[in-house]
Amino acid sequence: MQPTRSANDSKEFRNNYTAAEMVNALYALESGHIGRGVTVGLIDDGVLNVSGELDGRISALSKDFGYVTTGSSTTKREKIGDAQSDHGTVVANILSGAANGAGGVGYAPGAEVAVLRISDWNADTQTETLTHFNEALDYAGANGIKVINSSLTNRASSAWGSAVARYAATGGLVVTAAGNTSADAPTDAPAITDANRRAVLFVGAIDPSTTDYKLASYSARAGTMMDRYVVAVGTHYTLDTSGAMTVFKGTSSATPVVTALVADILSKWPQLSGQQAGDIVLATAKDIGDPGVDPVFGHGLVDFQAALAPVSPTLSNGTAQTPLAASVMAVADAVGTVSLQTALSKVTVLDAYGRDYRGSIANLVVQPQVSDPRRIERRVRQINDRTAIAFGPLSGEFAFAHYRNSVDPRAIDATVTSGSVAYAGRDLAVKLAWNGVDSLQGDTMGLAAFADGVLAYAPQADGSIEVGRRFAGGTLGATFAFGRIGDSSAQAVTLGWTSGTTQIRGSYISERGTLMGMPTGAGALRLGSGARTVMAEAHHSLALAGAWRLEGYGSLGVTQLKLAHGSLVTDATPLVASRFGIQASRPAFGGSISLGVGQPLKIESGAARLTYASGYDLASESLIYDTAQASLAGTRRLQLTGGYTRVGDVSSLRLGVMHDTRDGSTSALAGWSVRW
């Protein structure tokens, strides 16, 4: 046995440890699904409340349908339990016995039991006859009892089948024993018709075991009823009519386990019918025989945890439903997550059976740290072996990576990793580049944030066409940038003016599938389907004393989300974002050193409106919707950088280091290349 796991995992609970463990029964107790508020009809020979097992939970709907015969006199008994109720009493205690230190804990200890006593008693012969099944079924249907436990068989009576059909019309479910006949099908299978099939759930018995699953030798198999058949353990310790502990075995012992699971489901979701709860039991049973529904175990072993947990839950924004399993919100480093996670901490979902669950999905808001690795990877590709060519006004530069694909030292492949081709005329310049370098400021081995605003917003836009024309003492330029990574893409148009060491630019950036370079997620939690940004930026450099040179940049942009159909993000205000950086550099040690500080892209203001289900209205059986404004403002983040570069005719050395003040991390990168 496992160590005690909780207060519910008591000595009394462990009187049926193996039987309970095999069906994950502790999960129901721990989650509070104990049948409270549900009335279970118990068709049997009556119930005697012993040792307080059913205190306060014998329903006022209980009824004795039986008679007592003494000599030539037959009179109505009007007693729901006595010493002759030896079968119904143990069944009721397995179903709903209290956690009171006596016997065993019932599988639905909060459920009420409507005792439907159907036996007649002959005092002269001391014999009992079970004769009032059909009256009890009609009574249960008329009184709105959704589920009935019948740990009895009816010898395939057609009259019983007709009574079940009438009960089926109310949406009710009869959970009935398959029978202790070792037969190939349940005893009452011949009475099942299209009219009553969905209203019957047959229960077979398996032996208690922690190592394998074996149908009890006495249990009837699923056979022709395998689509309406499940199993549970058929051996339980419980209290008999004298209050003594006894062992009760048979399909009669397994049946109340399944009935209790139905009651546990209905206690949490009273909007369901008994038959709908039965469908859940069937669908979530553990397959323990041949794959799929089989003629021995039917659907398999009932599983309380699987039946009470959501089955294929969906998120809804009031207009569309999307699987929760396919939903995640990914946000860029520039975006704040706290307000989003707070808004999503109390969300209601519906599962495939219309059951409502309320809880937190805040953990589905994630902030993958992919922007830094992407920038570093880009820089690594740029610092590989380089080749430059020039022919008049035409020039080009290309970086190569070399790969060895076998132990043969000659088996080396070269791949172009970045490059550019340029034309420079007297007044006109044109440049085409892919995976090009930052066009505003030399970064520190890829560790500093991009100074180029387009790359900061859309790092996947790694291809560009630039056109510049000298005009009135400066250069007027236009750039079209483009690129894609996976399913995302970005395009940007930039107009700029350069005069001396000052550059001013304005850009329009369109992203598909990303927000500020980060994929927006999937399903109902997508943070839009992309974005449109208008941005202004400036760059300036100046010489300082001691051969130092100072460069600075900054930008301010306004972004509008492109809304995604079906997402809980149903609107958004404009997002205002800023970024800046300063870098000082000078010649030293035969190369150049640099020191810098920068703030990567950060949202300063703006919010997303989330529309989500916050509750469930039982009267209308519909979700209740709410909205929340979630701020997307990010957290201030500064990066301190330092670097050293030395480029010679034969070799090049580059070193870089960056310290992030927000998370305290430090990163370093080194690159060395040799030409021959």
User: Is the domain of 302 the same as that of 391?
Assistant: no
User: Is the domain of 534 the same as that of 624?
Assistant: yes
Predicted local confidence at residue 418, as pLDDT: 64
Predicted local confidence at residue 435, as pLDDT: 62
- Which residue of the set 33, 87, 299, 539 is catalytic? 87
Rounded distance, CA 486 to CA 652, Å?
33
Highest mean pLDDT among 372-381, 539-548, 626-635: 626-635
Q: Are 173 and 40 in contact (CB under 8 A)?
A: no
Share of the chain above pLDDT 70, in %: 91
Predicted local confidence at residue 441, as pLDDT: 47
Indicate whether 369 pLDDT > 80. no
User: Is 236 an annotated catalytic residue?
Assistant: no
Q: Which domain holds residue 593?
A: 374-636
User: Is the domain of 398 the same as that of 258?
Assistant: no
Query: What string of DSSP letters covers 231-295?
Result: EEE-EEEEE-TTS-EEEEESHHHHHHHHHHHHHHHHHH-TTS-HHHHHHHHHHH-B--SSSSSBT
Predicted local confidence at residue 1, as pLDDT: 66
Confidence of residue 391 (pLDDT cuts 50, 70, 90): confident
Predicted local confidence at residue 440, as pLDDT: 47
Confidence of residue 385 (pLDDT cuts 50, 70, 90): low
Indicate whether 434 pLDDT > 80. no
Element (H, E) at 419: strand 412-424
User: Is the domain of 303 the same as that of 378?
Assistant: no
Across the range 33-52, mean pLDDT stands at 96
Global confidence as pTM: 0.82
Share of the chain above pLDDT 90, in %: 72
Q: Does residue 100 lie within any of the structural domains?
A: yes
Q: Does residue 162 lie within any of the structural domains?
A: yes
Across the range 543-560, mean pLDDT stands at 92
Indicate whether 445 pLDDT > 50. no
Across the range 246-269, mean pLDDT stands at 97
469, β-bridge pairs: 428, 476
User: Is the domain of 292 the same as that of 408?
Assistant: no
Residue 401, CA distances (Å) to 124, 398, 420, 673 in order: 102, 10, 16, 10
Among 288-292, 491-495, 644-648, the range scoring the smallest mean pLDDT is: 644-648
Q: Does residue 661 lie within any of the structural domains?
A: no
Across the range 590-597, mean pLDDT stands at 90
Q: Does residue 528 lie within any of the structural domains?
A: yes
Which of 308, 341, 366 lies at the terminal end of a domain, its last residue? 308
Indicate whether 371 pLDDT > 70. no
Rounded distance, CA 203 to CA 221, Å?
9
User: Is the domain of 277 the same as that of 131?
Assistant: yes
Q: Does residue 326 lie within any of the structural domains?
A: no
Indicate whether 634 pLDDT > 60. yes
Indicate whether 607 pLDDT > 90. yes
Among 116-125, 303-312, 356-365, 460-469, the range scoring the smallest mean pLDDT is: 460-469
Q: Does residue 667 lie within any of the structural domains?
A: no
Predicted local confidence at residue 620, as pLDDT: 93
Per-residue HEC secondary structure of 173-227 comes to: EEEEECCCCCCCCCCCHHHCCCCCHHHEEEEEEECCCCCCCCECCCCCCCHHHHH
Predicted local confidence at residue 579, as pLDDT: 93
What residue type is assigned to position 148 of the chain? I
User: Is 571 an annotated catalytic residue?
Assistant: no
The total number of structural domains that make up the chain: 2
- Which residue of the set 9, 44, 45, 64 is catalytic? 44
Model pLDDT for residues 61-111, shown as the tens digit of each residue: 999 999 999 999 999 999 999 999 999 999 999 999 999 988 899 999 999
Rounded distance, CA 130 to CA 145, Å?
21
Predicted local confidence at residue 450, as pLDDT: 63
Across the range 555-569, mean pLDDT stands at 96
- Which residue of the set 59, 85, 151, 252 is catalytic? 252
Across the range 404-425, mean pLDDT stands at 63
Across the range 309-324, mean pLDDT stands at 95
- Contacts of residue 311, Cβ cutoff 8 Å, sequence gap at least 6: 280, 283, 284, 351, 352, 353, 355
Predicted local confidence at residue 468, as pLDDT: 87
CATH of the domain at 283: 3.40.50.200
Choose among 516, 635, 537: nearest CA to 580.
Answer: 537
User: Is the domain of 260 the same as that of 399?
Assistant: no
Predicted local confidence at residue 420, as pLDDT: 72
Q: Does residue 327 lie within any of the structural domains?
A: no
Predicted local confidence at residue 84, as pLDDT: 93
Predicted local confidence at residue 413, as pLDDT: 58
Across the range 2-6, mean pLDDT stands at 85
Which of 259, 286, 308 lies at the terminal end of a domain, its last residue? 308
Q: Are 214 and 207 in contact (CB under 8 A)?
A: yes
User: Is 252 an annotated catalytic residue?
Assistant: yes
Q: Where are the alpha helices (DSSP H) in 309-357?
A: 338-343
Indicate whether 135 pLDDT > 90. yes
Residue 534, CA distances (Å) to 93, 212, 509, 550, 578 in order: 71, 65, 7, 27, 12
Model pLDDT for residues 471-500, shown as the tens digit of each residue: 888 899 899 999 888 889 999 999 999 998
* Residue 430 vs residue 413, higher pLDDT: 430
CATH of the domain at 479: 2.40.160
Q: Does residue 340 lie within any of the structural domains?
A: no
Mean residue pLDDT across the chain: 90
Which of 250, 274, 308 lies at the terminal end of a domain, its last residue? 308
User: Is the domain of 113 the same as that of 249?
Assistant: yes
Predicted local confidence at residue 484, as pLDDT: 87
User: Is the domain of 386 the same as that of 300?
Assistant: no
Predicted local confidence at residue 382, as pLDDT: 47
User: Is the domain of 297 the same as that of 418?
Assistant: no
Q: What are phi and psi of 505, to 5 degrees?
A: -140, 150
User: Is the domain of 135 the same as that of 217?
Assistant: yes
Indicate whether 555 pLDDT > 50. yes
